[in-house]
Amino acid sequence: MTLAQTFNAALAGIASTPRQLLIDGRWSDAADGGTMVTINPATGLPLAELACGRAADIDLAVTAARRAFEGPWSATTPYDRQRMLLRLADLIEANYDTIALLDSLDMGAPITRTQAGRHTAPQLVRYYAGLVPTLRGETITPSVPGAPFVATLREPVGVVGAITPWNAPFRMCVWKAAPALAAGCTIILKPAEQSPLSALLFGQLCLEAGVPPGVVNVVPGMAEAGQRLAEHPDVDKITFTGSTRTGQHIIRASAGNLKRLSLELGGKSAHIILDDADLDLAAPAAAHAVFQNSGQICSAGTRLFVEDGIHDEFVERVLAETATLRMGDPLDPETQIGPLVDQTQKTTVQQYISTGLAEGASLLAGGTDVEAEALAAGSFVSPTVFTGVRDDMTIAREEIFGPVLSILRFSDRDEVIRRANASEYGLGAGLWTQDVSAAHALGRRLRAGTVWVNCYQLMDPAVPFGGYKLSGYGRESGYDHVHEFLETKALWIR
Ligand code: NAD
C-alpha cells in the first residue's frame, strides 16, 4: 500500500473523536464559527477540520473555569479527586489505541512510539492520583507573645492555562492537567495547532471520568489563543511547554496579574562519551538520543562530545547504527523515523543542515534531500550526522528540533565540561563512562536539569524534569510538581 492508502484506511479509526471546543462541559463551535485543518505530515494530506478557538473562546473558557473553581469543585475532597483521576487513568488505558493513532496521524510519530504511551500515560495519571491525599500543610510554633496557633494551608492556585507544543501531544495534556486536578485547580488546555486532536479526546475522557463541567476545558487554536490565556487577568497560572522565544512572550504577557509560571522550554543537550565507555551500549544510545521522534525532543542529545582516543571508532559505530534506522510510514510498526511535524519544520531543519555545510562541518549521513520517492509528499528529513563541528557553529549552538547530530571532539575532561556548559540552554545532559568516580565528579558539574549517566532520555513520573537557564523554570513529574499548582497560606489564630 502507498502512504496515502494506509492513511485513508486509518481515518475510520479516528472518525468519531471530537472536533469542537470543550467549554463548560459542552462541545461547541468557535464563537466566530472559525475552523482549522490539521495535516498528516507523512502524506501532506488534510487530516481533520476542527473548531479554531480565538480570544473570545478563551474568555468563555476562563469564565467557565473560574465558575467551576469557585463552585462545587472547591468542595471536592482529596479522595474525590483521587477517584476521578484513577477513573481517568483507566479510561486512557482503555482508549489507548485511538489516542496513539491520533497522535501518529496528527504529528507523524511512529506508531510504536505513540503506543508506548499505553503504559506511561496512565502511570503518570496514577502517580498524581496517589499524591492527592498526601498534600498537606504544617503547624508552626511562632515565638511571638500570646502563643497563637499557626498552620500553613496548601490551597489550589486557581484557574490554570496550559499551553502545549506538538512533539508529544497527548502526554503533554496529561502532564499539565493531572497535577492541576490533583491540586484542585481548574484548567484550560490550549494544544498546539499542528496536533490538537488527542487533546480533545483527553477532554472527552475527563468528562467520562466524572470531572465536572468547566473543570477541564480544551480550546485548540493558533498563537492568538495562547496569547490571550497568557494575558488574561483572571488566569492565575500558566504552565507552558514550547520554545524559549514563546516562553519569553508568555513571561511578558503574564506580567499584568503576576501569574505563576512554569516553563519547559528548548534545549541543546550535551552528550559526552569518555574513552572508557561501554561502546556497544553508548554508540546506539547516542544515535537514538538524537533521532528518536525525528529529533523533535526537547532534551535530544544533539551535541555529541567524543573523547579523542575513541573518536573515530565511535563515529563509525554511530554511523552504522544510523544506517539501520528505518524511515517511512508512521503507521508501519517497523518504522523508527517518521516525518517532521510539518513542511515549515522540514524547511527549518533543512536550512540548519545547509548552514552546517556552509560553516564547514563534514556531512557523513543524511542531508537536505530525501531520495525515496514514496516519501516526497511528506515532511521527512533523513537522520543527519555532522563531524568536525566547532562550538561556535550555528548547528552546535541553536536548537534545531530535527534529526541532526553534531559530533565534537575533545581531549581534556575539564575542557569538555566547560564546553558542554557553554550553552544558553540547560535541559538535559548525558555522560558515558565505566569509572564511577568520573561519573560522580563530572555528572555533578554539568549544568542541566537532568543528567543521565550510562543511559539517556529515561523518564519516570516520580523523577523531576525541567531546565536550567533558557530551558525554563519549574519541574514536571516528581513530588514537587503538584506543589507548583498550590499556594501556601499562613493561618494565624489567637
Ligand atoms: P512553540 O513555542 O512555537 O508553540 C508552543 C505552543 O505555544 C503552541 O500551542 C502555540 O500555539 C503556542 N504559542 C505560540 N505563540 C504564542 C504566544 N505568543 N503566546 C502564547 N502561546 C503561544 O513551540 P513548538 O514549536 O510547538 O514546540 C517545540 C518547542 O518546544 C521546542 O523548542 C522544544 O524544545 C520545546 N519543548 C520543550 C519541552 C520541555 O519539557 N522542556 C518539551 C517539549 C518541547
Instruction: Give residue-wise pLDDT tens across range 227-268.
Output: 999 999 999 999 999 999 999 999 999 999 999 999 999 999
Residue 467 lies in a domain: no
223 CA from centroid of ligand 1 (Å): 10
Residue 434 lies in a domain: yes
| 148 and 54 both lie in a single domain | yes
Ligand 1 neighbourhood includes 259 CB (under 6 angstroms) = no
Ligand 1 neighbourhood includes 85 CB (under 6 angstroms) = no
| 32 and 176 both lie in a single domain | yes
Q: Which residue has the cell 497560606?
A: 489
167 CA from centroid of ligand 1 (Å): 9
Full-model pTM: 0.97
| 27 and 58 both lie in a single domain | yes
> Concatenated DSSP letters for 191-244?
--TTS-HHHHHHHHHHHHTTPPTTTEEE--B-HHHHHHHHH-TT--EEEEES-H
Ligand 1 neighbourhood includes 165 CB (under 6 angstroms) = yes
| 256 and 306 both lie in a single domain | no
Q: How far is residue 484 from each of residues 43, 55, 236, 241, 473, measured CA to CA in Å?
A: 40, 26, 12, 15, 11
CA distance 82 to 76: 10
Around Cβ 241, how many Cβ atoms within 10 Å? Answer: 24
Ligand 1 neighbourhood includes 196 CB (under 6 angstroms) = no
Q: Atom 23 of ligand 1 has which residue's CA nearest to it?
A: 242
| 441 and 481 both lie in a single domain | no
CA angle 453, 299, 226 (to 5 degrees): 150
Q: Mean pLDDT of all residues in the chain?
A: 97
414 CA from centroid of ligand 1 (Å): 34
Atom nearest to 266 CA in ligand 1: 34
Q: Could you tell me the CATH number of the domain that includes residue 236?
A: 3.40.605.10
164 CA from centroid of ligand 1 (Å): 6
Q: Could you tell me the CATH number of the domain that includes residue 318?
A: 3.40.309.10
Give the domain extent around 430. 270-462
How big is the chain, counted in residues?
494
Ligand 1 neighbourhood includes 162 CB (under 6 angstroms) = no
| 291 and 163 both lie in a single domain | no
| 310 and 255 both lie in a single domain | no
Which 3 state secondary structure label does DSSP give 364? Answer: strand
| 452 and 479 both lie in a single domain | no
Q: Tell me the average pLDDT across 340-346.
A: 97
Ligand 1 neighbourhood includes 243 CB (under 6 angstroms) = yes
In the predicted structure, residue 272 carries a pLDDT above the cut 80:
yes
Q: Which residue has the cell 563530572?
A: 442
Q: Tell me the average pLDDT across 427-443.
A: 97
| 287 and 231 both lie in a single domain | no
Q: Atom 14 of ligand 1 has which residue's CA nearest to it?
A: 223
Which comes out higher in pLDDT, residue 140 or 370?
Answer: 140
Total domain count for the chain?
Answer: 2
pLDDT band at 442 (very low <50, low <70, confident <90, very high): very high
Which pLDDT belongs to residue 373?
A: 87
CA distance 488 to 494: 20
Which pLDDT belongs to residue 370?
A: 81
260-286 burial string, b = 16+ CB within 10 Å, else e? bbbbbbbbbbbbbbbbebebeebbbbb
